[in-house]
Structure 1
Amino acid sequence: MRPSKLRSINLNLLPILQSLLTTRSVTRTAEHLHMSQPGVSDALAKLRAHYNDDLLVRAGGEMQPTQLALALQEELNGSIEALERVIERDGFDPKKLERRFVISTADVVVLSLVNKVIDGLEDEAPGVTVQFEGIQADYLDSVRTGEVDLLVGPHNVLETKGLMEMELYDETLVCIARRNHPKVKGQLSSRAYKDLAHAAFRANQRTKESFETTLVGTRQNDIVRLPHYTLMPVIVEESDVVAMIPKRAAEYYAERHRIQAFDPPFKVPNVTIAAYWSRIHDRDPAHKWFRNRVRSAAPTS
């Protein structure tokens, strides 16, 4: 029997690597794992030595994964989930589970997650149903009481006080307009863009401002606010209205609608999409299994 290579690495480093590749930040990984920043930095140094690779390099003010890190990221989520199942002693068996899991989120997040969340679900957990629903005005109470299993949305935008959390993936925002829009030619100025008629996202009545205004911090000419991103390309392709949506969604919609995507004429921060849940679910083996499934479904590029 060949000696196991597992002895060559401290397995406790793997969840740290997983978080680093998701957050691309020592600070946010430290917060997420309740560690000190020096502790995370020390773990990263050990991981770099083990793999003989930088794993994360600073580029343009941000930490970017190397090619090896990207390859590792695709394997880590499933591997860690498998290790946790081996270590778990509660005898949890998803095949015996009869349960509905409710995820409250925006439709563009459903677009990014749904296929991988349900892939193989019928075989692994035939008694499980996943229900996606919009973010309602009383979402915080619904999550705290456990009525909603997971709230998935932008980090530091939603009110999530008292909830458990895990970061899933980052989104880049782009603008969309109809093809041959008369005012979207060449490089738009920031002022010219904001003066255009806009369709904006507003999840519910509890939200005071549109998501775009909250994120960028400046006002634009919103003529319509919508609770669903799915409606935006429908409106945009038939009018001179423009909108700002996640890049993955823009690429998907551009293949199905007569729209074009372009970069905003001003700096827009990337958005970290995170999952939140009630403390009452935190140690529930079934809920933990489902959270791991959602984490594994998160896009990596």
Structure 2
Amino acid sequence: MSQNLRSMDLNLLPIFDCLMCEQHLSRAAEVLAMSQPAVSNALKRLRLHYNDALFIRSAKGLIPTARAMELHLQIQPALQQLQLTQQSRDFDPKFSHGNISIAMEPTVEYLMAPSWFSCFHQQAPNMRLALYPEHLDNIAERLRRGQLDFAIDYLGFDEQYFQQQRLADEALVVICAKQHHLLKGSISLAQFESLPQVTLVPRPSTSPVNSGFSGSPIEHLIAAQWPNPASFTRNIVLSLSSFVAIPAVIAQSELIAVVPKRLAEQGPWQQQLQCLPLPFAGLKTQLNLIWHNSREQDPMHQWAREQLCLAV
């Protein structure tokens, strides 16, 4: 062991981790059940050890320096592994203060976050649930490092180091305004190709298998089911950042869009929309809950997987 590491109080590392998560001195003190002066003193010692400010004070709290972010990438996975060795195999969610982080498409968040939060809050009131967008950089690497617990994706990860479980089946439909002047209950393939459409802005796929595909997973699925994939084309006139905004746009325009059926049926715009079958082979897919092999035997992770599936 190097002299530098031997001279450091390793109890400072969980405090650093909490400061990075909270980015606020008083909130970190509350989470750690420490006094604010004690956390402030620990930060001074961390700054001295690493010869860096680590955090810059601002009106809203603490802003991590580049050095702090670099350190956290290295320290957080090690801390998580140490925490696993301390966890009892008889995990009790009622007394857990763990964190569960999940990357997902905003539509999934919109439809499922309320039931997930209710479930976690009732059974594990001290646990924290954090939901992140699915277009974070390099989600596979974040799962490997323990920076994310789960990813939820339509396409799945075809890699030996990941596990996945079906979370829910998903059907896709075409939506248009109730009073659309051309569409009444159905849509032809020619109409689907020619009518102006809304879609998502291109983005890298969550899945490492499809990392070269630009677009949403649903775009990928439509292209794969197209009668002649080489001629796949649509009249895209508007690109949005999330499916969640699409029904409102469709309800007030002559545009069409392909969205998850549950979004069209559960949103506030339901009464102003038509849900039409796709004009080619019925397109069904599933949402996959994905995690890294290293978390397979983690009791908290196992409990979270069960709850996420039950609460869908």
- Please state which band the TM-score falls in when normalised by the shorter chain: 0.5 to 0.7
Please tell me the root mean square deviation across aligned C-alpha atoms, in Å: 2.4
Q: Judging changes above 3 Å, is the alpha-carbon distance between structure 1 residues 233 and 257 closer, same or farther for their aligned structure 2 residues?
A: farther
Tell me the number of residue pairs that the alignment of Structure 1 and Structure 2 aligns: 209
Quick check: 1:177–1:260 contact (8 Å CA) kept in 2?
yes
Cα distance, 1:191 vs structure 2:
1.5
Cα distance, 1:188 vs structure 2:
2.5
Mapped partners of 1:294, 1:203: distance in 2: 28
Q: Does residue 294 of the first structure (1) align with residue 293 of the second (2)?
A: no
Deviation string, structure 1 residues 248-268 (Cα, Å, up to 9, x no partner): 111012655632211112113
Mapped partners of 1:125, 1:173: distance in 2: 34
Look up the match of 1:43: none
Find the partner of 1:221 among 231, 235, 245: 235
Look up the match of 1:132: 131
Quick check: 1:179–1:259 contact (8 Å CA) kept in 2?
yes
After TM superposition, the structure 1 = structure 2 runs for residues 98-117 of structure 1, keeping only pairs within 5 Å, are 98-117=97-116
Find the partner of 1:270 among 284, 291, 305: 284
Mapped partners of 1:143, 1:126: distance in 2: 25
Cα distance, 1:210 vs structure 2:
4.2
TM-score, reference length from structure 1? 0.63
Tell me which amino acid in the other structure corresponds to 2:257: A
Cα distance, 1:108 vs structure 2:
2.1
Tell which structure's C-alpha radius of gyration is larger: 2
Look up the match of 1:193: 192
Tell me which amino acid in the other structure corresponds to 1:223: V
Mapped partners of 1:267, 1:97: distance in 2: 47
Deviation string, structure 1 residues 60-119 (Cα, Å, up to 9, x no partner): xxxxxxxxxxxxxxxxxxxxxxxxxxxxx8221112211221111112222443233222
Report the identity percentage.
21
Cα distance, 1:275 vs structure 2:
0.3
Look up the match of 1:248: 262
Mapped partners of 1:187, 1:109: distance in 2: 26
Mapped partners of 1:120, 1:236: distance in 2: 33
Look up the match of 1:141: 141
Tell me which amino acid in the other structure corresponds to 1:215: L
Cα distance, 1:271 vs structure 2:
0.6
Q: What is the SS of the residue equivalent to 1:172?
A: strand
Q: Judging changes above 3 Å, is the alpha-carbon distance between structure 1 residues 195 and 107 closer, same or farther for their aligned structure 2 residues?
A: same
Q: What is the SS of the residue equivalent to 2:243?
A: coil
Cα distance, 1:160 vs structure 2:
4.8
Q: What is the SS of the residue equivalent to 2:239?
A: strand
Deviation string, structure 1 residues 174-208 (Cα, Å, up to 9, x no partner): 11111211121354320111211111235734541
Q: Does residue 208 of the first structure (1) align with residue 214 of the second (2)?
A: yes
Deviation string, structure 1 residues 27-79 (Cα, Å, up to 9, x no partner): xxxxxxxxxxxxxxxxxxxxxxxxxxxxxxxxxxxxxxxxxxxxxxxxxxxxx
Displaced runs of 4 or more, over 6 A: none
Q: Does residue 279 of the first structure (1) align with residue 293 of the second (2)?
A: yes
Q: What is the SS of the residue equivalent to 1:184?
A: coil
Quick check: 1:233–1:257 contact (8 Å CA) kept in 2?
no
Look up the match of 2:91: 92
Look up the match of 2:252: 238
Quick check: 1:203–1:228 contact (8 Å CA) kept in 2?
no
Look up the match of 2:61: none
Quick check: 2:194–2:234 contact (8 Å CA) kept in 1?
yes
Cα distance, 1:272 vs structure 2:
1.2
Q: Judging changes above 3 Å, is the alpha-carbon distance between structure 1 residues 268 and 130 closer, same or farther for their aligned structure 2 residues?
A: same
After TM superposition, the structure 1 = structure 2 runs for residues 116-127 of structure 1, keeping only pairs within 5 Å, are 116-127=115-126
TM-score, reference length from structure 2? 0.61
Look up the match of 1:44: none
Q: What is the SS of the residue equivalent to 2:259?
A: strand
Mapped partners of 1:212, 1:101: distance in 2: 26
